[in-house]
Amino acid sequence: MKQPYTANLFWSQDPDLYTFIEQRKREVSDWIHNLQEAELADEAVTERLLQQFELDPLDLDIENAEVVEQGSKRINIRHDHRFMTAYFDADEFGEEPYANGHYITFGIPYSGSALLLTLRPQTYPNRPFSAEIHPSEVRVTIEDAVAFTEESLSKQQRQVFRVLKGCAESAKSYATQFNGWLENEGANLIEKRRSALEGQQSLVQQLGFKVRKRQEQPGNVSAPAVRKKVSSFKQLKASNQSQVLDMAVYEEILSICRNMARVMELSPRAFVAIREEDLRFHFLVQLNAVFEGQATGETFNLSGKTDILIKHEGQNLFIAECKYWTGEKDYEAAIDLN
């Protein structure tokens, strides 16, 4: 579970929410521009786009806020007009003025992206509200250097909650509008990318140019006429009856992975801006083009954030750990099993 952290609610301007949305739109365009032919032909490419970039709109449940903590504390009174004398006395000695006061912390449930709690939307507070952000609750503290009365506490609570509610609704509106843009414009951009790729291929064919093949072939990166069943298993004689891949199948899998890596080396500009998850997806395309699973057409799948794996009868028979190369030391640390 993600650890709670402290942040100013709806206050960040680096970037603010508008700038963040615009940056995300550019990321969408770049992602679509870098799609390869096989990916564009995949009917699930739009679904992948939504999974990758869709924002979970923020809902701040003000009505179900609860008191989670209360007590006494030292409170800075530098900007409290009721303590002007104490402020000038402290300022004379270069100190910050404090007074004994009280605080009450409210827990406000929320759903959606926690990121939207911090970026400044169109409606934002006139001063920062520091809060502790938990996975499903944001904790806001109201404090006063003078003992709370029913009237003063109620007034502060209503004012703070009204501001936060307005900011949350503004942030939710941004996210909802972006998701609508993503669903409509994203699909249009994918179609434009398909059309552009088809146009380039058609132009080359119409002009009658010969397409030269590389002398150094990157290997098997296209689907064969007949996909292979990954059925070459060997039973170990151990009591748990574990299974392993036939070495010939294992070596062919490694060969396809090496060939895909070589493709990336030969065309670096096509892959330089692609995210880590999408780079792994390219390996999956090639592996699933060659091998067909026992019960499903997709033998190889992503597992979590790092693994490419093949399963048979509930057992993992092949696992590929994908890592960026950052040096020999980090490589040795990554494969250390101790």
The model's pLDDT over 32-61, given as tens digits with 9 standing for 90+, comes to 988 888 888 888 889 899 988 999 999 999
pLDDT at residue number 236: 41
Output the pTM of the full model. Answer: 0.56
User: 27 falls in which pLDDT band (50, 70, 90)?
Assistant: very high
b/e for 122-155, b at 16 or more Cβ within 10 A?
eebbeeebebbbbeebbbbbbebbeebeeeeeee
pLDDT of residue 296 exceeding 50, the answer is no
CA proximity to 148, closest of 221, 94, 75: 75
- Give φ, ψ of 224 to 5 degrees: -75, 170
Domain chopping of the chain, boundaries: 5-186, 228-335
CA proximity to 17, closest of 184, 180, 136, 167: 167
- Candidate ranges 10-14, 79-83, 216-220, 225-229; pick with highest mean pLDDT: 10-14
pLDDT at residue number 196: 82
Distance CA 147, CA 262 (A): 70
Distance CA 164, CA 141 (A): 13
User: 77 falls in which pLDDT band (50, 70, 90)?
Assistant: low
pLDDT of residue 87 exceeding 70, the answer is no
pLDDT at residue number 165: 95
User: 202 falls in which pLDDT band (50, 70, 90)?
Assistant: low
pLDDT of residue 13 exceeding 80, the answer is yes
Averaged pLDDT score across all residues of the chain: 77
pLDDT at residue number 289: 72
Q: Which helix (H) or strand (E) holds 229?
A: strand 228-229
**DSSP string for residues in 38-62:** HHHH-TTHHHHHHHHH-----EE-G
Section 327-333 average pLDDT = 76
Q: Please, what is the end-to-end C-alpha distance for the chain in angstroms?
A: 25
Q: Which of 16-25, 158-167, 204-213, 265-274 has the lowest mean pLDDT?
A: 204-213
pLDDT of residue 62 exceeding 90, the answer is yes
Section 198-214 average pLDDT = 62
pLDDT at residue number 148: 65
pLDDT at residue number 97: 72
Identify which has the larger pLDDT, 103 or 106.
Answer: 106
53 in Cβ contact with 28 (< 8 Å): yes
pLDDT of residue 143 exceeding 70, the answer is yes
